Structure 1
Amino acid sequence: MLKEFRDFIMTGNVLELSIAVILAGVVKEVVTGFTNLIMMPFIGHFTGGMDFSDFKIVLSEAIMDAEGTITTPENAILYGQWINTIINLIIVGFVLFMVVKGYNKLKKKKEEAPAAPPAPSKEEVLLTEIRDLLKK
């Protein structure tokens, strides 16, 4: 049973999937960094310095005791963070669209190259020789 499990794990599909999952985690960090550290400051600049993540609707305030310790946390709808998520989705979607568009353009150029005509079969070569001999 252990040998079967090892054979299953060592198949190409499982290894490829494992690598893809690990790379997806790294790509997520890169995309999050790009949107939060590069794109969101630009968007904040063009919207007058607004930070959407601060927008919220407070349903109930935080309750503190006499010492200033929070006994009940604030209950709020954090719609600003949701707006940031939607902006991130639009940015990532546009970047992926451009990547796929470029890939398809490269793929189309490779497909457009005319393929060399197939070599004639042995029978066709033999028939051509017979035809040429008959012409003489």
Structure 2
Amino acid sequence: MKNIINEFKEFIMRGNVLDMAVGVIIGGAFQKIIGSLVNDVIMPVISLVTGGVDFSNWFIALDGHHYASLAEAQAAKAATLNYGTFITQVINFLIMAFVIFMMVKIMNTLANKVKKPVEEVVEPETKVCPYCMSEIDIHATRCPHCTSKLSES
């Protein structure tokens, strides 16, 4: 039993488990922000553009009766196929995914602006012969143009 407890302690104390826990907590809070943006800002605009269509009342009553609203069908304990709710959730998902994509894109852009570009040191591939001033390979020990013997530096 002590072995299991020790293994559990080791598992919990790993950095990736703590990072994951923090990510889940922040993700939950972030989901509330995105949910509010979608439900309180974007969906009313979509509703205005679509003429006030309420997808949540699009359903099929499986008992063969006609109900004026989903709430009425549920109050009658009728089995319903709620395809409007599914459409709403798909739209919410797509909007949330797009908003998250844009936020990550903005954060990456800001992170790239903060980073200083690393200047790449390029080693020279040629040098100039001190006798004839011709450009020659950096590793040459004799100039191919004037045949002068070059120093090894």
TM beyond 0.5:
yes
Change (3 A) 1:14 1:86: same
- 1:9 equivalenced with 2:12 (yes/no): yes
SS at match of 1:92: helix
Which of 1 and 2 has greater Rg?
Answer: 2
| Contact 2:55 2:88 (8 Å CA) reproduced | yes
Provide the residue aligned with 2:94 in structure 1: 90
Q: Which structure exhibits the higher relative contact order, with contacts defined as CA atoms closer than 8 Å and separated by 6 or more residues? A: 1
Where do 4+ consecutive residues of structure 1 move more than 6 Å? none
Question: Structure 2: how far apart are the matches of 1:15 and 1:112?
Answer: 30
| Contact 2:57 2:85 (8 Å CA) reproduced | yes
Structure 1 unpaired stretches of 5+: 63-69, 118-136
Q: CA RMSD in A?
A: 3.1
- 1:53 equivalenced with 2:56 (yes/no): yes
Change (3 A) 1:48 1:72: closer
Structure 2 unpaired stretches of 5+: 67-73, 122-153
1:78-113 deviation digits (Å, cap 9, x = unpaired): 111111112112211221221232234345446672
- Counterpart of 1:27 (choices 27, 30, 33) is 30
Deviation for aligned residue 1:16: 0.9
TM-score (norm 1): 0.65
Change (3 A) 1:8 1:46: same
Question: Structure 2: how far apart are the matches of 1:106 and 1:71?
Answer: 52
Provide the residue aligned with 1:128 in structure 2: none
TM-score (norm 2): 0.59
Aligned sequence identity (%): 35
